Amino acid sequence: MSEITRAIAELPLRFKGPGGAVAVIKDGAVIAREAWGYADLARYRPFTPATLFPICSISKQFTCALLLDQLGDPARLDAALKARLPALAEPAPRVLHLCHNQSGLRDYWALTVLCGAAPEGAFRPADATSLMGRTRTLHFPPGTQYSYSNGNFRLLSDVLEDHLGKPFDEMLKARILTPAGMATARLNPETGNLPGGAVGYEGDDAFGFIPAVNHIHWTGDAGMVATLDDMIAWERFIDATYGDESSLYRRLSVRPHFADGRPASYGFGLAHMESQGIVVTGHGGALRGWRSQRLHVAQERLSVVVLFNHESSAREAAFAVLRAALGQATPPRPETAYDPQWTGAWHEPRSGLVLDIAPANGTKGQLSARFTTDAEMLALKSENEAASPSMTLRRDGDTIRMLRPVDNLDAELTRLSGPSPADVTGSFQCGELDSLFQVTATGNATYASFEGFLGKGAMQPLYPIAGDIWRLPCRRSMDAPAPGDWTVHFHRDAAGKISGVTVGSWLARRVAFETRK
């Protein structure tokens, strides 16, 4: 049994769920094309390479492909972009900032939480226009940092459609999908009405699997559906044209830079990664009940695609298959013992976010660090240094230096400690979003909720971290993955009274609320 065959055979057991599919393409030829399980458990409908699947954020590269195909200079749309942000009181991002997730715009799906949206609630095009049109502030100056923002690519498809004077989906099909041989791929903005009959599932092997419910509308950010065979066609199209420096994927996969000249790890809807020193480009996709990942190694003319109709890590699965195809051994586990002094919450003042560190579950030589939406596993290099592909932490007593090149972030964090005063109840208003943050206490527990133009959100537990910094978990929202933990920082006036609160997550930082009069 070859290593590729072995790695593929292990996927259904390593990543347990209703169904999935995988493909490996080498030198333009398909060397693996397999599917297993069921696209619909209740109707016994098998998962096949012809099953239509929401590829979600993998769509972003296709949006950028159409942009590059149709415009010699994307800056031609900068004025149109600015017009779609009428309330913005800061220098506006440029179209290229959107393409590279350097716009400073907060993720609009994360902001739906602050506007009271229910996870299974409806979200219409008018809601997107209203929400993004409220933008007054950015969470960093354009071009200076990276922050994943789905709204970047929705705006791209909107301004591109206006410029072309033709429907975005029509042009996408005619100019990109059909030439690439993606016969059944298309834009399908309605997540509650997916073609083909496939079902996505929430849950896991321990909890069980239940059909996921989605009612959001999206476009250039994540709106495509495709089959495994469609994705194979895309990878073969890339391979057939890559030798031409002016080819579409060569242009898409040029590595961009930040304003300070440092190389960025994201551009034109593609993440720039490595597998044991070998350069990889690709992207994942996620919606409640669905996960997908494609990877491309140009120097090896190698591609891997993984599709799951459940919430296991398609990214981890794709890299496992990729390593097998490259003949790479699984990296050895580090042996450095975990020092309990790492454990705790650490505050990063520029973003306002909290880094949570804990020992990895039963894994020697690793720690779990959550700063973004998901926890990352970092290998301990020494007692005071730990690193993952995207983050390095160096600890010196109660201070940590955090290096995140992907975000262009070099920051000093301090350990949070001490009791949290309980006098944080009240109502707080966000003028930018016109939303309400309500904090209540019942017994010895504290809860909070958001209310805005999208509804009245459910109460959720609010947990103290230290001092006036609290944590509001968010594990389910309209988009997936959800924002994770919101860092809630209460502010006091000279008399010690609460004067306001800042709420933030990695996807939407420093959203200001004032005490309601």
* Catalytic site positions: 57, 60
Dist. CA 337–CA 447, nearest whole Å: 37
Q: What is the 3-state secondary structure (H, E, C) of 474-510?
A: ECCCCCCCCCEEEEEEEEECCCCCEEEEEEEECCEEE
CB of 159 closer than 8 Å to CB of 151:
no
Q: What is the 3-state secondary structure (H, E, C) of 245-310?
A: CCCHHHHHCCCCECCCCCECCEECCEEEEEECCEEEEEEEEEECCEEEEEEEEHHHCEEEEEEECC
Q: What is the CA radius of gyration of the chain?
A: 23
Give residue 216's identity as a one-letter amino acid code. Answer: I
DSSP label of 91:
P
Beta strand segments in 371-459, E: 375-382, 385-388, 391-396, 399-404, 409-415, 426-430, 435-442, 445-452, 455-456
Number of Cα atoms under 13 Å in the Cβ half of residue 353? 22
Locus of tokens 């049109």: 133
Helices (H) and strands (E) in the chain, counts: 11, 31
Q: How far apart are CA 375 and CA 377, in angstroms?
A: 7
**What is d(CA 472, CA 370) in angstroms, rounded to the nearest whole number?**
14
What is the spatial distance between Cα 377 and Cα 389, in angstroms, rounded to a whole number?
10
E strands in 41-120: 45-46, 53-54
* d(C-alpha 448, C-alpha 426), whole Å: 10
Count the alpha carbons within 13 Å of 396 in the hemisphere toward its beta carbon: 4
Residue ranges in 173-256 assigned as alpha helix (H) = 228-241, 248-252
Task: Mention every residue, 6+ apart, whose C-beta is less than 8 A from residue 429.
Answer: 435, 436, 437, 513, 514, 515, 516
Helix (H, G, I), strand (E, B) or coil at 33: strand
Q: Nearest CA to 279 among 377, 389, 409, 375?
A: 389
Amino acid in position 76 = R
Buried b / exposed e along 44-78 (16+ C-beta atoms within 10 A):
ebebbbebbbbbbbbbbbbbbbbbeeeeeebeebb
Nearest of 86, 87, 125, 92 to residue 108 by alpha carbon: 125
For helices 125-133 and 150-164, what crossing angle results, to 10°?
Answer: 110
| Token output for 170 | 């029509």
